[in-house]
């Protein structure tokens, strides 16, 4: 094998640049040519790729986002798009591809692999919902950003004896919300995995007010059945008895931006380097992730067909701690 490609796909995550850097430099060190593919699968279909050298990935490990750009590509999900992507790879002589991304991106990698094309995935998404990696690139940084916001909101909430609904990302997974709630000392958390009754939450806040709490923080996952908007509406109708005045803050894409922390710089470097090792040893059709602290492979068919479960004992713990 002489030439490989690397792309970032789906929602960007702080640390993606560290993974690109590791793939390029470790690949070059192993005698491979490394092509960067721009704008994820959309750019792949359009043939947007060029060779990357050591200097092209200099000064990026501390930068958020991805120097290659990213995209969500509905076209790649079609047979025509997939065939065109394969044609472009063959035309440029790219013999294997490293795909850095989350669930959708790894399903795309699996589609290429099913066509017989050699791929290796790298686990990267702030949602931490990807089977095959205990933690994925971007999670730690996104969590720290959410925590910083929660800490700040708490101080202003206390001054005014207010309740804040803080909505965090995570798609259909409550990991970010639950961890932010525990680490941020929130009064309640709503996640997609557990159906919470909004009336119960109202009751808990009322109790907290009566017990003399100066503030109440409720972390809401964007994918929760009662999302922040619905919950705020519900709270309004109970305003007279709630005690706390209410405000809503949606963190949104703030969690995806900015510089990766030390953990994500190291994780992305290890996983990028691990992906190159897999290419060199001919181990394809796998996701490179972190399991029990070690860089490990999981077959892409298993990744694509298995849901990563959230540890719900931590949800129970969050409730016990919110006293």
- Minimal distance, residue 223 CB to ligand F6P, in Å: 7
Q: Would you list the DSSP string of 43-101?
A: HHHTT-EEE--GGGGTT-TT--S-TT-----GGGGSHHHHHHHHHHHHHTT--EEEEEE
Q: Tell me the window of 121-129, 192-200, 210-218, 283-291 that interacts with ligand F6P (CB under 6 A).
A: 121-129
Size of site (CB under 6 A) for ligand F6P? 11
Annotate each residue in 249-288 with x if it binds ligand F6P (CB under 6 A) or - if it does not, as one string.
-------x--------------------------------
Among 11, 64, 108, 184, binds ligand F6P (CB under 6 A): 11
Say if residue 46 is exposed, middle or buried (CB neighbours under 10 Å; 0-12, 13-18, 19+): middle
Q: Is 270:133 a contact under the CB 8 Å cutoff? A: no
Q: Is 104 annotated as a binding residue?
A: yes
Please identify every residue annotated as catalytic: 127
Q: Is 120 annotated as a binding residue?
A: no
Residue in 218, 198, 143, 151 with CA at minimum distance from that of residue 173: 143
Q: Which helix (H) or strand (E) holds 294?
A: strand 294-299
Residues 30 to 89 in contact with ligand F6P, rule: CB under 6 A: 72
Among 5, 18, 69, 102, binds ligand F6P (CB under 6 A): 102
- Minimal distance, residue 253 CB to ligand F6P, in Å: 6
Annotate each residue in 212-231 with x if it binds ligand F6P (CB under 6 A) or - if it does not, as one string.
----------x---------
Residues 127 to 186 in contact with ligand F6P, rule: CB under 6 A: 127, 169-171
Q: How far apart are CA 243 and CA 151, in angstroms?
A: 21
Among 8, 106, 124, 125, binds ligand F6P (CB under 6 A): 125
Q: Is 23:275 a contact under the CB 8 Å cutoff? A: yes
Q: How far apart are CA 286 and CA 300, in angstroms?
A: 5
Q: How far apart are CA 140 and CA 77, in angstroms?
A: 30
Strand, helix or coil for residue 211: coil
Q: Tell me the window of 111-119, 125-133, 185-193, 227-235 that interacts with ligand F6P (CB under 6 A).
A: 125-133
Bridge partner list, 294: 291
Q: Tell me the window of 29-37, 120-128, 180-188, 296-304 that interacts with ligand F6P (CB under 6 A).
A: 120-128
Give the residues lining the site for ligand F6P (CB under 6 A).
Answer: 11, 72, 102, 125-127, 169-171, 222, 256
List, as residue ranges, the binding site for ADP: 21-25, 154, 185-187, 211, 213-215
């Amino acid at each position: 094998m002489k030439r490989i490609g690397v792309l970032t796909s789906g929602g960007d995550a702080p640390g993606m640049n560290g993974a690109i850097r590791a793939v390029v430099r470790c690949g070059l060190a192993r005698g491979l040519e490394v092509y960067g593919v721009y704008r994820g699968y959309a750019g792949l279909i359009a043939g947007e790729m060029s060779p990357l050298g050591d200097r092209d990935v200099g000064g990026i490990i501390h930068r958020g986002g991805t120097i290659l750009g990213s995209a969500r590509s509905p076209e790649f999900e079609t047979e025509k798009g997939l065939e065109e992507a394969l044609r472009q790879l063959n035309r440029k002589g790219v013999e294997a591809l490293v795909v850095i991304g989350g669930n959708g991106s790894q399903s795309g990698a699996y589609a290429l692999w099913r066509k017989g094309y050699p791929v290796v995935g790298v686990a990267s998404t702030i949602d931490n919902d990807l089977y095959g990696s205990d933690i994925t690139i971007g999670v730690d940084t996104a969590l720290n950003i959410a925590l910083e916001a929660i800490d700040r909101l708490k101080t202003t909430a206390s001054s005014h004896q207010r309740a804040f609904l803080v909505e965090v990302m995570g798609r259909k997974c409550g990991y970010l919300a639950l961890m932010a709630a525990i680490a941020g000392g929130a009064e309640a958390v709503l996640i997609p995995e557990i159906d919470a009754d909004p009336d119960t939450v109202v009751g808990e806040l009322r109790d907290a007010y009566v017990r003399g709490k100066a503030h109440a923080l409720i972390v809401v996952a964007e994918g929760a059945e009662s999302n922040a908007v619905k919950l705020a509406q519900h709270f309004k109708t109970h305003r007279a008895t709630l005690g706390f005045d209410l405000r809503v803050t949606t963190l949104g894409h703030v969690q995806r931006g900015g510089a990766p922390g030390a953990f994500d710089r190291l994780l992305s470097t290890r996983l990028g380097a691990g992906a190159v090792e897999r290419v060199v040893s001919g181990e394809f059709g796998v996701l490179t992730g972190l399991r029990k602290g070690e860089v490990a492979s999981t077959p892409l068919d298993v990744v694509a067909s298995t849901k990563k479960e959230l540890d719900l004992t931590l949800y129970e713990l969050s409730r016990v701690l919110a006293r």
